[in-house]
Amino acid sequence: MTRLVLASASPRRVSLLEQVGLSFEVVPSGVPEDPGDGTREPADLARALALRKAEAVAAREPDALVLGADTIVVLDGAVLGKPRDEAEAVRMLERLQGRSHVVITGVALVAPGGRKRVEHEETTVWMRPLTRAQVEWYVRSGEPLDKAGAYAVQGLGALLVERIFGCYYNVVGLPLGRVARLLEEFGLTVL
């Protein structure tokens, strides 16, 4: 059986794959998560970043099936990456509050021999209206500092979200249904 390698150090992605009982290894890609220069469509960017991560690890692990992923948050066509500091997290959350935005996760698989498959998942998230004090309280928790869009729906950030349309796990960082289907296309039985 082919080894499955997750090209990510994300504890959320690790937890999601463990949750569904997959056996895998973690090999961080080391690829910078560059939000781009705004000239590329957000879904194209998410797929390209996921593939770049998967290919980087596949070059070091040529006998493995490598899974790469990248999650971005898009508001009014602009990509919101991970905030650099608390001040940027506050600015991001103030832009997101009371509005909808789209979370896109690119997913890439690279198999031994070079076969590749790249897709993406999109989920719309509506954030409830928030006061400046609520935003600052959340940012002081430290949770948003390593998250695209400056919030974590699976943590305290759940208090910020009014509703979602689409895959919840996509917002966490890995659309499990899509990943399962792709893994099965590569011969790895998930169910």
- Token pair in block for residue 30: 């080391």
Give the HSE-up count for residue 169: Cα atoms under 13 Å, Cβ half-sphere.
17
Phi and psi, residue 127, nearest 5°: -95, 140
Catalytic residue check, 76: no
H helices of the chain, in order, are: 11-19, 42-60, 86-96, 132-140, 168-172, 176-185
Catalytic residue from among 34, 44, 63, 70: 70
Task: Confirm if 32 and 93 have CB atoms less than 8 A apart.
Answer: no
> Which residues are catalytically annotated?
70
